[in-house]
Amino acid sequence: MEVPNEVMFPEVRRLLAEGRTVTFCVRGDSMRPLLRSRRDKVTLAACATLRRGDLALAEIGGMYVLHRVVAVREDGRGGGEAVLMGDGNIGATESCPLAHVMGIVVAIDRAGRRFSLDSRWYRLYARLWPEAKPLRRFLLRLFA
Bigger pLDDT: 79 or 95? 95
* pTM higher than the cut 0.75: yes
Model confidence at 144: pLDDT above 80: no
Contacts of 70 (CB under 8 A, 6+ apart): 52, 83, 84, 85, 93, 130
- What is the mean pLDDT of the segment spanning 117-129? 86
- What is the mean pLDDT of the segment spanning 85-102? 92
Bigger pLDDT: 2 or 14? 14
First to last CA, the chain: 27
What is residue 4's predicted lDDT score, i.e. its pLDDT? 87
Using DSSP's 3-state secondary structure scheme, residue 72 falls into strand
- What domains can be seen in the chain, in order of their start residue? 5-142 (2.10.109.10)
What is residue 129's predicted lDDT score, i.e. its pLDDT? 85
